[in-house]
Structure 1
Amino acid sequence: MFENIWGFVIIGGPILLAGALIWAMTHNRLSKRQQRESEGATKQLYAEQAEQDRERGTDPG
């Protein structure tokens, strides 16, 4: 009885894990619009931080 269960665990487990990883990789992608929005927001945050650093006199550049 337990031999059948272990066979499933040893063979089915990695197959199930691989399937879950493939599914996650294919469904965890941003659209082009989302990528542009994210990049724009990041650049804006960096610009704001750089301005704050200049105001405090801690700008490394």
Structure 2
Amino acid sequence: MIKIDKQAYIKLIEEDLDYLNQHCKEESLELDHIKAVLCFSIDLLYPEPQPSAKNINP
């Protein structure tokens, strides 16, 4: 797997979504699913860091 930073990955996803929007004029559940998976992949591959128990002030 090629490692790229999150901003570069987001740019690629945005380009994919633009392509789909330009070339797939008819809305469908399949198209909606593809778009949702592309967007979800950002959070899946680049999750936000979770605060550790040491960093939480009571």
TM-score, normalising length: structure 2: 0.40
Q: Which has the larger radius of gyration?
A: 1
Q: Which of the two has greater helix per residue? A: 1
Higher relative contact order structure (alpha carbons within 8 Å, sequence separation ≥ 6): 2
TM-score normalized with structure 1 length: 0.38
